[in-house]
Amino acid sequence: MLEFHAYNHQDSGRHGTADTRTSWRENPDFTPDNDPVQASAQLIVFARERADWATIVKPYLLRQIFCIDADARPSSDGGFTKAGQPSA
């Protein structure tokens, strides 16, 4: 996790283009490890296999999904500020 976004300060029309898979894959920070489709698929595999929470699922979530990057930034509107509103 590099940054949490304040979606209530965003222009949803401008931000909508950033939510497409194509836009995500064009992001220079994209890697297979942070692909949300792959992460979701892995959680389905864990559920199907009845993976142990303490030794498999929880460590995966902490390492891959809910990890805070050392270079994390304060919350913002992610560059999609609503017209007439100051940046969050």
**From 9-13, 61-65, 82-86, the region with the lowest mean pLDDT:** 82-86
SS3 category, 81: strand
- Residue 18: inside a domain, yes or no? yes
Q: In the structure, what pLDDT confidence band is assigned to residue 79 with cuts at 50, 70 and 90?
A: confident
Cα separation, 25 vs 30, whole angstroms: 6
* Count of domains forming the chain: 1
Cα separation, 13 vs 54, whole angstroms: 41
- Residue 77: inside a domain, yes or no? no
Cα separation, 33 vs 64, whole angstroms: 7
- Average pLDDT, integer, range 46-51: 98
Cα separation, 58 vs 14, whole angstroms: 35
pLDDT tens, 68-77? 878 888 777 7
Position 36 scores a pLDDT of 82
- Residue 61: inside a domain, yes or no? yes
Domain that holds residue 29: 7-65
- Residue 84: inside a domain, yes or no? no
- Residue 85: inside a domain, yes or no? no
- Residue 1: inside a domain, yes or no? no
- Residue 15: inside a domain, yes or no? yes
